[in-house]
Amino acid sequence: MARTRDSHHMRQKLLDGAARLLAEEGPAALTTRRVAAEASTSTMAVYTHFGSIATLVEAVVEEAFTRLAEAMASVGSTDDPVADIAGLTRAYLTNARANGNLYAIMFGAASLGPYRRHAPDELRIGRAETFGLVLEAVQRALDDGRFRPASPVRVATQWWSAIHGYTMLELGGYITRPGGVAKVLAPLLESLFIGLGDDPAATLRSIAQLDSGALDGGTQDQPPLET
């Protein structure tokens, strides 16, 4: 059992090390020597766990979507689908903050260079799994009459565009904490949900699930972006 835990821990260290190299230095830095150094291990460990750098890249992409899917799946479903979408928003942002390098790789902010061709299935499957969680909540909001009749795929894509845009700006330092969620993200969701047909009072109750105060916790040297 201890050996299994150690093996899993080393695999995670190699994945995180490879993600950091890709995000911060680009694919040219992704050598077995550099990855091993990031994980404080030998080059043999890279081959033992992944076989090749190309396979490692596939695993990094898969891991990125796995962590996001697990975070979003933990939200669950309630009788308030709009609150569930707000909960998915919270999980999405929290995961991105905790896995910034992986997030950059998932959505193209960090180039995979020549390794991109090795990961198309991981990208496609990962997108489908995470998007499906949003789509289910959106469909319930449509069925319950919270949103006016519309394509659930289109509505889910609008949500994803909003949260992805906010997340990229925050990770890039253009929107800083504390205050960014309350001043930017929460009003953005409010405008989106009301624009989709939700009752304003119901929207505000549902957005409470975002828990802006907790997401805005911590301090930064810079003030939050003013709107």
Q: CA 65 to CA 92: how far, in whole Å? A: 11
Q: Is 90 exposed, middle or buried (0-12, 13-18, 19+ CB in 10 A)?
A: buried
In our burial notation (b when 16+ CB lie closer than 10 A, e otherwise), range 52-77 reads: ebebbbbbbbbbbbbbbbebbeebee
Q: Is the peptide bond before 152 cis (omega within 30 degrees of 0)?
A: no
Cβ neighbours of 112 (radius 10 Å): 20
Task: Give the domains, in start order, of the chain with CATH numbers.
Answer: 58-215 (1.10.357.10)
In our burial notation (b when 16+ CB lie closer than 10 A, e otherwise), range 143-182 reads: eeebbeeeebeebbeebbebbeebbbbbbeeebbbbbbbb
Question: For residue 178, what pLDDT is reported?
Answer: 80
Tokens 């489908």, located at residue: 128
Q: Give the dihedral sign, CA 38/115/135/174.
A: positive
User: Which whole-number Å values give the CA distances from 69 to 86, 93, 131, 148, in the listed order?
Assistant: 15, 12, 9, 27
- List the chain pLDDT tens, one digit each, 227 residues: 556 677 889 999 999 999 999 889 988 999 999 999 999 999 999 999 999 998 998 899 889 989 999 999 999 999 999 999 999 999 999 999 999 988 988 877 777 888 765 556 666 666 788 899 999 999 999 999 999 999 999 999 999 999 999 999 999 999 987 889 999 999 999 999 999 999 999 999 999 999 888 898 854 444 444 44
Rounded to 5°, angle at Cα 100 from 96 and 105: 100
Question: For residue 1, what pLDDT is reported?
Answer: 54
Question: For residue 61, what pLDDT is reported?
Answer: 86
